[in-house]
Amino acid sequence: MATVKTSYLGNLRTQAEHLQSGAKIITDAPTDNHGQGAAFSPTDLFAASYASCALTIIGIATQTHGFNIDGATVETSKVMSENPRRIAELIVNFTFPHNNYSDRERRIIEGAIKSCPVANSLPDSLKITRTITYLDK
């Protein structure tokens, strides 16, 4: 059975429906590619998917080991290239709230980042530049 049904709405917009939950996402082409930029572009969703996956996998790991990352954020930028037009690089900045993470907990977090299924599905030609910040206060 399908996971997502995507429909073309016209004017370079689509609607993706998650069939299990009924949740919907609208996309719009980006302004640098004939769109209005009024919603996530498909490549924005790609970047968001990476960040959401990483935080989810880290959350599973931290639950397993008895600590949390509540309030953690990821800011993701994409660098586009031409010929062919594609995402050439993701610049990913993880920020974890003040939680007095031990060295062991930091290793768990950093190991989990590397085991994200979305990241593991990407070609080696896609450059991923990551920074990790642990806030002191």
User: Tens digit of pLDDT for each residue in 81-100?
Assistant: 999 999 999 999 999 999 99
Residue 106 is predicted with a pLDDT of 96
The answer to whether residues 53 and 117 touch, using CB atoms and an 8 Å cutoff, is yes
Q: What is the pLDDT of residues 50-67, one digit of tens each?
A: 999 999 999 999 999 999
Name all contacts of 95-102 with Cβ < 8 Å and 24+ positions apart: 95/133, 95/135, 96/69, 96/72, 96/132, 96/133, 96/134, 96/135, 97/69, 97/70, 97/71, 97/72, 97/135, 98/134, 98/135, 98/136, 98/137, 99/67, 99/68, 99/69, 99/134, 101/67, 101/134
Residue 14 is predicted with a pLDDT of 97
According to CATH, the topology of domain 41-134 is GMP Synthetase; Chain A, domain 3 (3.30.300)
Residue 136 is predicted with a pLDDT of 84
- CA–CA separation, 126 and 87 (whole Å): 7
Positions of the chain with pLDDT under 70:
none
Q: How many CB atoms lie within 10 A of CB 113?
A: 21
